[in-house]
Structure 1
Amino acid sequence: MTAPSPASERILALDALRGVAVAGIVGMNVLAFALPAPAYYNPLAYGGVSPPDYWVWLASFVFIEDKFRTLFAMLFGAGCLILIERAGAAPWRAHYARMAVLFVIGLAHAILLASNDVLRAYALAGCALPLLAGLSARGLVSVAIGLLGVHLMLGLVVLGGPMAMYLAGHAGTDGMLWAQRQFGHDPPTILMLLEQGREGLAERVVRRSLGIPGQMTALVAALPLNLSAMALGMGLWRGGMLKGAWRTFRLQRVAGLAALVALPGLLLMAGWLVSEGFAAPLVGPVALVLSAPFDMALALAYAALAMAFLTRDTGLTARLAAAGRLSLTNYLLTSVILASVFAHWGLGLFGEVSRWQAFAIGAVPVAAMLAWSRWWVAKVGQGPFERLWRAGARLLS
């Protein structure tokens, strides 16, 4: 997500990569709209009743879950660095104005539509990016690795207790019960979440507005991981990969090595969860902490492949590039479409579909963004929410 630049300055593969990222995020966001929260990570919590549901979980865990969110954050970091570099000697005021407006947009998005909104987290993490803007490509990658290590350490401090208790064979502790409510099948919790998911719009606005202070804890906890991905994206821009300056063979080699690191680790963790019956004390640490390095490696592989092959302004690449140019609008439009399907004021399908059915419905917003974006870019250019973001930032800067 970046402010628009003249067409002559745009990099087709980078725009297409943004399109890949915003489309890929739908694969997990649809589950947040369709099913109670524990089912987002655990197919046994709710909505996993048939073999297709488990195959969808496996494919999502290995190839989608947090990979495209990480890719989105990488591109956000790269986009911020692009604007900082173009802003001249004193870019900070404009940058912080953009972050303030983005936070407000994200806050409205979270209250009205999507409780799993990422824009607020990106805006908060983005406040640190000017401090990194002067680093070399190698320095930025080093910062990314260091912040990833911080995320792993803090995550294990928070979630490692229940996992250690489970592995030691202890049961019934407060930590174990908390993990069951968050990541397992706890009937009272599932019932409460089903009732909550079927509330009216006015009720939802009130509840989520009152919950804003509590949400800040989760946003702050996500800072190291989001900053890590953003720093990596900045490093890839400064190092030339996202500028389209690397040869195809080099990009293929990076993609292959990153996939060789990521896929065995993700498959081993998936097998571990299956063998343990998706025990709640394991699901949380695996999904939120232990998988993070492998998620980032696979996101890097996706980025390298896109920069290698999405280089011709025809067919699917052209549609992805148009969707990428409207990434903020498409991200928000996805929530509008999914809310109209699953929310009580729409078709009311929340909790009424299985995992694979929800995943299939996710094809609707993806098809919509690929269908409308190219026409809009050709006729209008800038997306409506990109325009709003830019206008708001100008007022503040």
Structure 2
Amino acid sequence: MSLQPIDSQQRIQNLDVIRGFSLLGIFIVNMIAFHSPVYYYDPYAWWGDSLNRQAYWWIDVFVQASFYPIFAMMFGAGLALQFVRAQQKNTRFSSFAVRRLGVLLAIGMVHAFLIWSGDILITYAVTGFILIWMLKMSGKMLLTLGFIIYFLPQTLLAGIMFFAAMVDPTTVTYFSSVQDIESSVANYGSGSFGQIFSQRLEDWQYANDPSAFVSIIIVILPLMMIGAGAAKVQLFQKAKEKKMLLGICTLLFLGAGIAVKTSPYWGEQNLAFVFTQDYVGGPLVAMSYMTLLLLIMTAPVTAKLLQPLAKTGRMALTNYLLQSVIGTIIFYNYGFGLYGEVTLSTGTLIALGIFFMQVIFSELWLSKFSQGPMEKLWRKLSYSRK
């Protein structure tokens, strides 16, 4: 017996709502990279004028580094649920999972090198190859190890960076690369397709050199473990039975997360504070958003109101890739060529408007079809038909 795809009746709406919500935050952050050379400048200086300062503060505290962890946890949860289904049906999971992740890796490579350098699918696929061999652990074990493996090294690294800052403050100072900024603006804003491709490749290599790629895997893997553990203890399916726990977790995670996320504003705007903000505060706020959504979804009225967001989450792969296609068409020279010409506030409003249209698009598409176009392709290439 081969493993078959999940139909719409078997889906867990809570997961789809959270996944759809994460797409909104991811798009708001990615939009900054679509229209500006984010890899190469000091954001506090770049967005420091009065027009952009408030928008950057809002994104920095409530959005930046707090939505990709949700997406990673949902990815882990999805793999865990597929693993549980395979066990229930007494079917082989590992070969299916490897094939499915291999397809995702190929899609990510096309996305990264032909559309946008900030792709996350490659990282998720590679990390997923590791996670599938850990799914035999219990849900509680996955949750415990996930928290330890994530927060222990990040806290230690933050401590090392703060110590380095005390010894020599210049080691954690932001520096902008004027040459790389000018190159990005010239190539994306007015370059040929070949120049845009070269710049995209250079940006991907800058963000994904071997040490950086391994570091990203180390960050993403425990987040996926946490999501997988939450799925295996049935947190998403039994949210109504765990309302007290969800309420406590929301308050604790949100309070601690916001305190850390605001640290560059009550501390110093250097790499030590920003690292702590993103890698310690970011996931804490992400977990508070996730538990808050689960709490909200326990009310039938709210669950019904959020169905459009759930449909957006059902088409997560399609919508994620579509965001990149639309974003690059707007800002790259083979489209409207607006790279480097919009304010942060304008870019954020554009992201919100496009996402609203994606919600409508997802609703209309799923009224006619059972799944999104990219989900259908992924499914066709992943499931055997023996």
TM category, shorter: 0.7 to 0.9
Structure 1: gaps (5+ residues): none
**Structure 2 CA distance, aligned partners of 1:297 and 1:91?**
31
Secondary structure at the counterpart of residue 341 of structure 2? coil
Structure 1 residues 212-234: Cα deviation after superposition (integer angstroms, max 9, x where no partner): 77735232220111011101101
The answer as to whether partners of 2:31 and 2:327 remain within 8 angstroms in 1 is: yes
Instruction: Report the CA distance shift for 1:51/1:250 in structure 2 as closer, same or farther (over 3 A).
Output: same
Query: Who is 2:93 aligned against?
Result: 91
Structure 1 residues 276-330: Cα deviation after superposition (integer angstroms, max 9, x where no partner): xx4xxx23x4434553222111111111111121354776401100001000100
Q: Does 1:236 align with 2:249?
A: no
Mapping 1:334-373, distance limit 5 Å: 334-373=323-362
Deviation at 1:207, TM superposition (A): 5.1
Query: Who is 1:81 aligned against?
Result: 80
Q: Does 1:64 align with 2:59?
A: no
Structure 1 residues 58-85: Cα deviation after superposition (integer angstroms, max 9, x where no partner): 1112111111100000000000111111
Aligned counterpart in structure 2 of residue 152 of structure 1, from 127, 151, 154 = 154
How many residue pairs get aligned? The number is: 374
Q: Does 1:131 align with 2:130?
A: no
**Structure 2 CA distance, aligned partners of 1:343 and 1:27?**
18
Mapping 1:1-397, distance limit 5 Å: 5-38=6-39, 42-44=43-45, 46=46, 48-88=47-87, 89=90, 90-149=92-151, 151-152=153-154, 160=161, 166-169=165-168, 171=170, 176=171, 183-198=174-189, 199-206=191-198, 208=200, 215=208, 217=210, 218-245=212-239, 246-273=241-268, 278=269, 282-283=270-271, 285-289=272-276, 291-310=278-297, 312=300, 316-394=305-383
**Structure 1 CA distance, aligned partners of 2:276 and 2:335?**
35
**Structure 1 CA distance, aligned partners of 2:112 and 2:76?**
21
The answer as to whether partners of 1:14 and 1:243 remain within 8 angstroms in 2 is: no
**Structure 1 CA distance, aligned partners of 2:296 and 2:41?**
32
Deviation at 1:102, TM superposition (A): 0.6
The letter for the 2-side match of 1:262 is G
Deviation at 1:331, TM superposition (A): 0.5
Deviation at 1:211, TM superposition (A): 7.5
Instruction: Report the CA distance shift for 1:258/1:42 in structure 2 as closer, same or farther (over 3 A).
Output: same
Instruction: Report the CA distance shift for 1:185/1:338 in structure 2 as closer, same or farther (over 3 A).
Output: same
**Structure 1 CA distance, aligned partners of 2:41 and 2:311?**
29
Secondary structure at the counterpart of residue 336 of structure 1? helix
The answer as to whether partners of 2:23 and 2:316 remain within 8 angstroms in 1 is: yes
Instruction: Report the CA distance shift for 1:156/1:298 in structure 2 as closer, same or farther (over 3 A).
Output: closer
Cα RMSD after superposing both structures? 2.8
**Structure 2 CA distance, aligned partners of 1:254 and 1:290?**
19
Deviation at 1:187, TM superposition (A): 2.7
The letter for the 2-side match of 1:250 is L
Deviation at 1:188, TM superposition (A): 2.8
The letter for the 2-side match of 1:141 is L
Instruction: Report the CA distance shift for 1:288/1:191 in structure 2 as closer, same or farther (over 3 A).
Output: same
Deviation at 1:11, TM superposition (A): 1.9
Deviation at 1:154, TM superposition (A): 8.4
The TM-score normalised by the length of structure 1 is: 0.85
The answer as to whether partners of 1:152 and 1:290 remain within 8 angstroms in 2 is: no
Give me the identity figure in percent: 24
The letter for the 2-side match of 1:85 is V
Instruction: Report the CA distance shift for 1:35/1:389 in structure 2 as closer, same or farther (over 3 A).
Output: same
**Structure 1 CA distance, aligned partners of 2:347 and 2:201?**
27
**Structure 1 CA distance, aligned partners of 2:107 and 2:153?**
26
Secondary structure at the counterpart of residue 97 of structure 2? helix
